[in-house]
């Protein structure tokens, strides 16, 4: 999980550099195109394409790809509009949206503890976004749309994961997103230089490797163990933002991020407790 966070953090730096000069759709296209390199290697190493590409749910993969593509475009756009640390902090509102959406979409029951954590988390979002009047600034609004899209993507992945291997889900997401975004290139295209090609290739490979590593992390350990490590991405985002763009986080951003992260971790804690199987009572007098 740490490897995944580090790769994604480096990728985010490259994305922010690239969207300053290229259309967001073009950057997102190359992010997914070159991500297919490590993904295809992983599929070949884990049984080959005959098994890795077999699917009974092509429409499910298409829906997941469209959701993920929208999420990625808005997230990358928020990197252009906001300091990197602020954009990543707002993206951590995804677990809050996921908890709220799990009621109508997954028919899950959410108790008072998790609903309270959601409300507190959105208070943290308000602190970070610092809304003017009754509306958010554009950057905060775009970042929150990305966070909501991320929640929808997680729900789609949960449903596909019942029958589809992780590498298959990642492959079809990258492939279909590349094909759809390729249709936009004639309308928004800037020809990269040789140096730009290097950044684009590195961005895609880092993204693909990060996706494979996070998938592997969740297969090796419970979500309660690996998910909290994802919050180290905020520390790296703030560090890279300061080193590359001289972006110094504000006090409001730090306080709001702490509130959002705390609520997200509490939701994860309650989710883990809810799914835990009660242990068998120990008989009186036992040494266990």
Q: What is the pLDDT of residues 270-287, one digit of tens each?
A: 777 766 644 444 444 444
Tell which wins on pLDDT, 250 or 280: 250
Rounded CA gap, 72 and 238, in Å? 20
How many Å apart are CA 60 and CA 65, to the nearest integer?
A: 9
Res 281: pLDDT: 43
DSSP string, 61-124: HHHHHHHHHHHHHHHHHHHHHS-HHHHHHHHTTHHHHHHHHHHHHH-----HHHHHHHHHHHHH
Q: Are 147 and 91 in contact (CB under 8 A)?
A: yes
User: Pick from 69, 72, 77, 103: which is nearest to 22 by CA?
Assistant: 77
In this prediction the pTM is 0.82
Tokens representing 287?
Answer: 């040494």
Query: How far, in Å, CA of 102 to CA of 108, rounded?
Result: 6
Q: Which two tokens stand for residue 8?
A: 């994604």
Q: Please report how many Cα atoms fall inside a 13 Å half-sphere around the Cα of residue 251, on the Cβ side.
A: 0
- What confidence tens digit (pLDDT) does each residue in 142-199 have? 988 998 888 888 888 878 888 888 888 889 999 999 999 999 999 999 999 999 999 9
Among the residue ranges 12-16, 132-136, 159-163, 179-183, the one predicted with the least confidence is 132-136
Q: What is the pLDDT of residue 23?
A: 96
Contact 151, 101 (CB under 8 A): yes
Note whether 237 and 12 are within 8 A (CB): yes
- Which residue, among 119, 121, 126, 156, has the nearest Cα to 141 in the 3D structure? 126
């Amino acid at each position: 999980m740490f490897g995944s966070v580090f790769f994604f953090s480096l990728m985010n730096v490259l994305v922010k550099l690239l969207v300053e000069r290229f259309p967001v759709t073009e950057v997102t296209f190359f992010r997914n195109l070159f991500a297919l390199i490590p993904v295809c290697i992983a599929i070949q190493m884990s049984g080959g394409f005959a098994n890795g590409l077999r699917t009974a749910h092509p429409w499910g993969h298409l829906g997941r790809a469209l959701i993920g593509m929208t999420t990625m475009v808005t997230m990358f756009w928020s990197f252009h509009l906001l300091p990197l640390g602020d954009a990543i902090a707002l993206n951590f509102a995804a677990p809050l949206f996921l908890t709220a959406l799990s009621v109508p979409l997954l028919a899950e029951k959410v108790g008072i503890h998790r609903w309270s954590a959601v409300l507190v988390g959105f208070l943290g979002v308000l602190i970070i976004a610092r809304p003017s009047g009754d509306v958010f600034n554009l950057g905060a609004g775009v970042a929150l749309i990305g966070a909501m899209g991320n929640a929808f993507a997680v729900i789609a992945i949960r449903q596909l994961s019942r029958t589809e291997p992780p590498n298959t889900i990642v492959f079809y997401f990258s492939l279909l997103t590349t094909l759809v975004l390729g249709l936009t290139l004639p309308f928004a295209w800037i020809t990269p230089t040789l140096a730009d090609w290097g950044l684009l290739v590195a961005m895609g490979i880092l993204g693909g490797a990060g996706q494979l590593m996070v998938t592997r992390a969740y297969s090796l350990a419970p979500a309660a163990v690996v998910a909290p490590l994802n919050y180290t991405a905020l520390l790296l985002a703030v560090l890279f933002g300061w080193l590359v763009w001289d972006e110094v986080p504000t006090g409001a951003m730090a306080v709001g991020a702490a509130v959002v992260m705390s609520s997200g971790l509490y939701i994860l804690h309650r989710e883990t407790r809810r799914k835990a199987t009660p242990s068998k009572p120990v008989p009186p007098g036992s040494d266990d």
